């Protein structure tokens, strides 16, 4: 009889899974809790195995927001909207990703590190989308040396590479379209991508139909106004609203919504046959 796996062992195996064959070899079978030694181990497998089984080419996004839809106060303070369990969840998503994307606005306002600290795992490549090259060079993603960083800029941005910092110059504004960005990353071997922020960048990827999964964690707090989360051109009638399949999970006092937006394992860079082509 196989030894039951504790939470640490389950997480270690999840980090190595890219295919159904990998999962079978690791003893992690979807829908089965018989091989897990604790509720924590079962929760980890149930929460992250579907993402791991989506394959080596999958794009997901994550946002933490207030109940009324804001990711920060009007002054930009987001420290912290959601609780500790959601931050641990975010770091696990980073650890399962090849690359993590943020827009220039988030890099300027939040000065994020984008590294894996709240769980075991390797740091992803940090990707900063910055068409005009406006993010100051002193930001942590460029200076801390904790993980490789890819600075994606337009042709007129005057930036230079450095230690642990690569620069990717895209030819025009159209090249920053979400599907084209994902295709460019895939050519560099970065197929499993997390779009982390901010709300504008996540909304662009959602509207373009470039995401396979969307994680939104809602905290029981009301801000009244502030920096909005998801925003895209809406529908005039409710029946045409985007209603993807969803799983709900409690993270302490917060609620995590996991939306399935496209075909698991579909290669980013072009929508799959049954993938939504826009958030309309």
Query: Exposed, middle or buried, 40 (CB in 10 Å: 0-12/13-18/19+)?
Result: middle
Residues 117/91, Cβ–Cβ less than 8 Å: yes
Residues 211/61, Cβ–Cβ less than 8 Å: yes
pLDDT of residue 79: 86
pLDDT of residue 2: 59
Q: Encode pLDDT of 214-238 as tens digits.
A: 999 999 999 999 999 999 998 999 9
Reduce the DSSP state of residue 216 to 3 states and report it. strand
In whole angstroms, give the CA distance from residue 42 to residue 223: 34
pLDDT of residue 267: 41
Q: What is the DSSP string of 111-148?
A: -------SSS-PPPEEEEEETT--S-TTSHHHHS-SS-
Q: Encode pLDDT of 106-151 as tens digits.
A: 999 999 999 999 999 999 999 999 999 999 999 999 999 999 999 9
pLDDT of residue 4: 84
Residues of the chain where predicted confidence (pLDDT) is lower than 50: 1, 264-280
Does an H or E element contain 258, and which?
A: strand 254-260
């Amino acid at each position: 009889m196989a030894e039951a796996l504790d939470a640490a062992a389950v997480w270690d195996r999840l980090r190595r899974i890219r295919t159904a064959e990998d999962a079978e070899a690791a003893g992690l079978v979807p829908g089965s809790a018989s091989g897990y030694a604790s509720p924590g181990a079962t929760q980890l497998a149930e929460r992250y195995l579907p993402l791991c089984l989506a394959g080596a080419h999958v794009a997901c996004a994550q946002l933490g927001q207030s109940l009324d839809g804001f990711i920060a106060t009007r002054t930009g303070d987001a420290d912290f909207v959601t609780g500790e369990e959601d931050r641990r969840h975010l770091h696990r998503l980073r650890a399962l990703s090849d690359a993590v994307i943020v827009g220039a606005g988030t890099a300027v306002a939040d000065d994020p590190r984008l590294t894996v600290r709240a769980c075991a795992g390797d740091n992803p490549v940090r990707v900063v989308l910055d068409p005009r090259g406006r993010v100051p060079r002193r930001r942590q993603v460029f200076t801390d040396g904790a993980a490789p960083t890819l600075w994606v800029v337009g042709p007129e941005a005057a930036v230079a590479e450095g230690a642990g910092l690569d620069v990717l110059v895209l030819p025009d504004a159209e090249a920053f379209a979400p599907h084209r960005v994902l295709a460019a990353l895939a050519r560099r071997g970065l197929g499993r991508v997390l779009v982390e922020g901010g709300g504008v960048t996540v909304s662009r990827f959602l509207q373009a139909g470039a995401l396979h999964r969307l994680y939104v964690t809602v905290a029981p707090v009301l801000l009244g106004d502030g920096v909005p989360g998801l925003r895209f051109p809406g529908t005039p009638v409710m029946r045409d609203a985007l209603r993807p399949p969803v799983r709900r999970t409690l993270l302490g006092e917060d609620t995590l919504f996991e939306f399935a937006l496209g075909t698991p394992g579909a290669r980013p860079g072009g929508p799959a046959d049954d993938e939504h082509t826009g958030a309309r």
